[in-house]
């Protein structure tokens, strides 16, 4: 399933693996910079989540739109 989701979203597995490696080697001092970058990304464009349908529906107030790719 993970690879299907990545393919649908156009996400490179190689890029994900590099990111995971970076996270594993991050220092505590890197936390503030990471928070700043994540905040900037969230402000600039859309965010997407994939997860438990019940949890997403329960927290629908956090999302502008909820799409079920199985129904498209």
Give the pLDDT confidence of 11-70 residue by residue, as tens digits. Answer: 788 888 888 888 888 888 888 888 888 888 778 877 778 788 899 899 989 888 888 877
**Which tokens belong to 67?**
């799409």
Q: How far apart (Å, rounded) are the C-alpha atoms in residues 44 and 29?
A: 25
SS3 45: coil
Q: What is the pTM of this model?
A: 0.39
For residue 9, give every residue at least 6 positions away whose Cβ sits within 8 Å of its Cβ, in sequence order, or none: 48
Length of the chain: 72
Q: Which residue has the tokens 């299907």?
A: 4
Handedness of CA 53, 64, 46, 67 (dihedral sign): positive
């Amino acid at each position: 399933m993970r690879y299907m989701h990545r393919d649908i979203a156009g996400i490179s597995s190689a890029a994900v693996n590099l990111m995971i490696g970076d996270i594993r080697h991050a220092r505590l001092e890197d936390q503030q910079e990471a928070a700043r970058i994540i905040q900037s990304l969230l402000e600039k464009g859309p965010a997407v989540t994939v997860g438990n349908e019940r949890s997403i529906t329960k927290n629908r107030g956090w999302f502008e739109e909820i799409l079920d790719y199985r129904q498209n």
